[in-house]
Amino acid sequence: MGKKKTSPGPRQKLSEVTMAVSRKEIMSTTTPKGSWNAEILAKWGVKWPAPSGWKRKLIENWDAQNPDSPETKRNRQRAAAKAALEREINVISLEETQAEFMKSDVWYQLRYKVFTVYGRKCMCCGKRYNLDVDHIKPKSRYPELIADFNNLQILCRDCNYGKGNWDETDWRPKPDDDPW
């Protein structure tokens, strides 16, 4: 009769992984196929099947216990480079999203509403041609306000370019600025 298979039991929680192992040791201690088996993981206090994120947890524990080691410094550099890359990717995708929004029907309807409410006149200099709908708080720094009617005003192209994305001047008439 064959050997009876037993299930490995419940998966270990990541918070239960308390040992500290260096990245170098983790990467150099693999099976011939380049993976890790239950025997290797048991040596490090990780139960089989290993919880998701077990390598990162072992390395974080190592870094916490050995803050001045060269390997810890490399791990910090890797983490900083990865975070910088993720920020760069987020900026690129945000720019693409903003460009897509500025071509959308939602933007054109919102733009029309601004012209309907405020009229076709630059709120800064009074020109009536080459008009843009300007974001008072620039969309590059406040992407969450890109479609907020209360963040929009009408400026001529010259005033809009002069204002740039560093100036947050609100040229809209105040409720008490009754022209009559």
- Residue 167 or residue 180, greater confidence: 167
d(CA 127, CA 69): 65
∠ CA 159-162-165, rounded to 5°: 110
**Other CB atoms within 10 Å distance of the CB of residue 30:** 12
Q: Is the pLDDT of residue 2 over 70?
A: no
**Which of 1-10, 36-45, 97-106, 112-121 has the lowest average pLDDT?**
1-10
Widest pairwise Cα distance in the chain: 101
Q: Is the dihedral of CA 16, 21, 25, 27 positive or negative?
A: positive
Q: How confident is the model at residue 180 (pLDDT cuts 50, 70, 90)?
A: very low
- Residue 30 or residue 131, greater confidence: 131
Residues 6+ apart with CB under 8 A from 4: none
The proportion of the chain whose per-residue pLDDT surpasses 70, expressed as a percent, equals: 82
Q: Which bin fits 31, alpha (ψ -120 to 50), beta or left (φ > 0)?
A: beta
φ, ψ for residue 153, nearest 5 deg: -145, 165
Residue position matching structure tokens 């001529």: 156
pLDDT of amino acid 85? 65
pLDDT in tens, 141-158: 888 888 888 999 999 999
pLDDT in tens, 104-123: 888 888 899 999 898 999 99
Q: Tell me how long the chain is.
A: 180
pLDDT of amino acid 86? 67
Q: How confident is the model at residue 177 (pLDDT cuts 50, 70, 90)?
A: low
Q: What pTM does this model have?
A: 0.47
